[in-house]
Amino acid sequence: MSIQLQSVISAPPASSFDFTIVGAGASGLWLALALFEEGLLENLTLCIVESDASKHNDRTWCYWEVASPQPNVMVSKSWNSIYNPHNLLSRNDLLPYSYYHIRSADFYKSIKQQLATCANITWYTLTVAEIEVQSHRVLVKTVDTSWYSSQVFLSTQLPVRGQNLTDGLSDFLSQKERKKNAPFLWQSFVGWRLQTSSPIFDDTCATLMCFDIPQQNSTQFIYELPFSASEALIEITRFGQNQLTYQEAEILLREFLEKKNIDFNILEKEHGNIPMTAQFDVRRKYLEAETRVIYIGTLGGAIKPTTGYGFKRMQNYGKALAKALREQKPLPTMRRLNRFRFYDHLLLRILYSSPHRGKAVFQRLFETQPISRVLRFLDEETTILEEILIFLRLPIRLFLRSLLSYCFN
Ligand SMILES: Cc1cc2nc3c(=O)[nH]c(=O)nc-3n(C[C@H](O)[C@H](O)[C@H](O)COP(=O)(O)OP(=O)(O)OC[C@H]3O[C@@H](n4cnc5c(N)ncnc54)[C@H](O)[C@@H]3O)c2cc1C
């Protein structure tokens, strides 16, 4: 089914909508689907505005989950086991989880197809320039046109007049505050989807962290997702203050592949940077009743600062917002439990001030804990007892130093 509906236009007439979603990326589309599935779009209208007319396969998303994402046609591959980052000869079952790989092109297509039957959605291909909050509505402005909306969901950074920014976001937008308050790191990565001349991969098992590369005063590892015996995504990832450049990554990737004697062709390249910061964290549980501009996605605090994963949280937040809207309850934020924010602070400080120790921390985590516990911990679903068991087995002096630095800052 094509989504080139009559409603995809480039210059909208003056109009008004109940909801506007700015940005048809991961969080925008998850939210649109949730509004639709909650039945809100039977009577209310939604405008989805996206600036990129040729949105294509601009990234891939991976995450672990117990249930398969629906519809599972959007999943290009899944794995039930991973090699242990501590000992790459040991293979660990992910049960009850699977690790999923989704190409963004398949995600965009799948969600748009599900929404294509909804007459109350209008799609605009336009660049929003500014948002102005007025007393009972919001004016969404592009260079040439504007429209009103009762509420706006924003997944991109734009000037917003008439509404205070949520806690962390205002700090983040100011470079000065960013340095002063909390360590800020980048998760940067360069990946190649490779075709090899002979079958060498075991496509039933993924590698999330292989530390068998120079650390270069950062925490760096190789991520390997085999799609078949002769095709895999090999990606180098850096947690560091400086972003990994393509040239640096290319040298490291070639060295790594040469060491393994892999003869390859590059089919596709992926390059990206994700902010690793606790500064998007929201402290209040619910938005104020009069909030009309709501941040979603990365800006709303969906990305876990110490892992860069956020896709699943965006889906869950979309569902939570839609449910609250339907039930006319206070709108939730993506607030995380304080103790998990605190753990992230400690680890970010270690990665910031002792980047060469990151490798030891992650290896020790996977060496001493069952994988399912590690994944639940990263999902912030462990109990305090389990967290004590985890921290007791980590390099304790490193965490105590980080704690001191946290207290004094
Ligand atoms: C390369 C890459 C790979 C990633 N991989 C993973 C992963 O494997 N797993 C995971 O959990 N997370 C991953 N992430 C992190 C996170 O899930 C993604 O960044 C995710 O796409 C963020 O969703 P979002 O909605 O906040 O932003 P986006 O998906 O970037 O959506 C924002 C949208 O807004 C549009 N836009 C921007 N400005 C305007 C404007 N002025 N007017 C209208 N539209 C506008 C953009 O074109 C874009 O489509 C990855 C991030 C990157 C960069």
Q: DSSP letter string over 129-176? A: EEEEE-SS-EEEEESS-EEEEEEEEE-S---EESSPPPHHHHHHHSHH
CA of 120 to the centre of ligand 1 (A): 25
User: Which residues are CB-contacts of 16 (< 8 A; sequence separation ≥ 6)?
Assistant: 137, 147, 148, 149
115: Cα within 13 Å, side-chain hemisphere? 32
| pLDDT tens track for 98-130 | 999 999 999 999 999 999 999 999 999 999 999
Which residue's alpha carbon is nearest to atom 36 within ligand 1? Answer: 23
Average pLDDT over residues 204-223: 95
DSSP 8-state class, residue 403: H
Which residue's alpha carbon is nearest to atom 34 within ligand 1? Answer: 23
Which residue's alpha carbon is nearest to atom 33 within ligand 1? Answer: 23
Q: How confident is the model at residue 181 (pLDDT cuts 50, 70, 90)?
A: low
Residue-level pLDDT at 266:
97
Buried b (16+ CB within 10 A) or exposed e, 375-393: bbbbbbebeeeebeebeee
Report which of residues 191 and 14 the model is more confident about: 191
Which residue's alpha carbon is nearest to atom 23 within ligand 1? Answer: 26
User: Best mutation site among 47, 268, 274, 293 for ligand 1, i.e. most ligand atoms within 8 A of its Cβ?
Assistant: 274
Which residue's alpha carbon is nearest to atom 3 within ligand 1? Answer: 59
Give yes or no for a contact between 27 and 108, defined as CB atoms under 8 angstroms apart: no
Which residue's alpha carbon is nearest to atom 27 within ligand 1? Answer: 25
Q: Which amino acid is at 294?
A: I
Residue-level pLDDT at 317:
97
CA of 323 to the centre of ligand 1 (A): 23
CATH entry 3.40.50.300 includes domain 1-183+277-336: no
CA of 53 to the centre of ligand 1 (A): 15
Residue-level pLDDT at 205:
97
Report which of residues 51 and 1 the model is more confident about: 51
Identify the CA nearest to 21 among candidates 11, 10, 36. Answer: 36
Q: Return the SS3 of 179.
A: helix
Considering only 167-171, 266-270, 338-342, 344-348, which range has the smallest mean pLDDT? 167-171
CA of 26 to the centre of ligand 1 (A): 6
- The yes-or-no verdict on residue 32 having pLDDT over 70 is yes
CA of 27 to the centre of ligand 1 (A): 8
What's the CATH class of domain 185-274?
Answer: alpha beta
CA of 77 to the centre of ligand 1 (A): 21
Give yes or no for a contact between 252 and 236, defined as CB atoms under 8 angstroms apart: yes
For the CA of 49, the closest atom of ligand 1 is 43
CA of 364 to the centre of ligand 1 (A): 31
Q: In terms of DSSP bridges, do strands 128-133 and 160-161 run parallel, antiparallel, or are they unpaired?
A: parallel
| pLDDT tens track for 1-27 | 334 433 444 445 558 999 999 999 999
Which residue's alpha carbon is nearest to atom 38 within ligand 1? Answer: 156
Report which of residues 313 and 1 the model is more confident about: 313
CA of 33 to the centre of ligand 1 (A): 16
Task: Report d(CA 360, CA 143) in Å as an integer.
Answer: 51
Residue-level pLDDT at 9:
47
For the CA of 61, the closest atom of ligand 1 is 8
Please give the structure tokens belonging to residue 356.
Answer: 């060469």
User: Best mutation site among 187, 311, 321, 334 for ligand 1, i.e. most ligand atoms within 8 A of its Cβ?
Assistant: 311
| pLDDT tens track for 220-262 | 999 999 999 999 999 999 999 999 999 999 999 999 999 999 9
Task: Report d(CA 249, CA 221) in Å as an integer.
Answer: 11
- The yes-or-no verdict on residue 303 having pLDDT over 60 is yes
- The yes-or-no verdict on residue 178 having pLDDT over 60 is no
- The yes-or-no verdict on residue 87 having pLDDT over 60 is yes
List pocket residues of ligand 1, CB cut-off 6 Å: 22-28, 49-52, 55, 59, 61-63, 127-128, 155-156, 158, 270, 272, 274, 297-298, 303, 308-311
- The yes-or-no verdict on residue 169 having pLDDT over 80 is no
Q: What is the mean pLDDT of the chain?
A: 90
Identify the CA nearest to 158 among candidates 137, 138, 128, 134. Answer: 128
- The yes-or-no verdict on residue 162 having pLDDT over 90 is no
pTM (predicted TM-score):
0.92
Which residue's alpha carbon is nearest to atom 5 within ligand 1? Answer: 61
Phi, psi of 28 (to 5 degrees): -65, -45
CA of 386 to the centre of ligand 1 (A): 32
User: Best mutation site among 50, 208, 223 for ligand 1, i.e. most ligand atoms within 8 A of its Cβ?
Assistant: 50
For the CA of 28, the closest atom of ligand 1 is 25
Residue in the block written with tokens 């297509």: 109
Residue in the block written with tokens 């389990």: 386
Give yes or no for a contact between 92 and 17, defined as CB atoms under 8 angstroms apart: no
Task: Report d(CA 93, CA 184) in Å as an integer.
Answer: 33
- The yes-or-no verdict on residue 88 having pLDDT over 90 is no
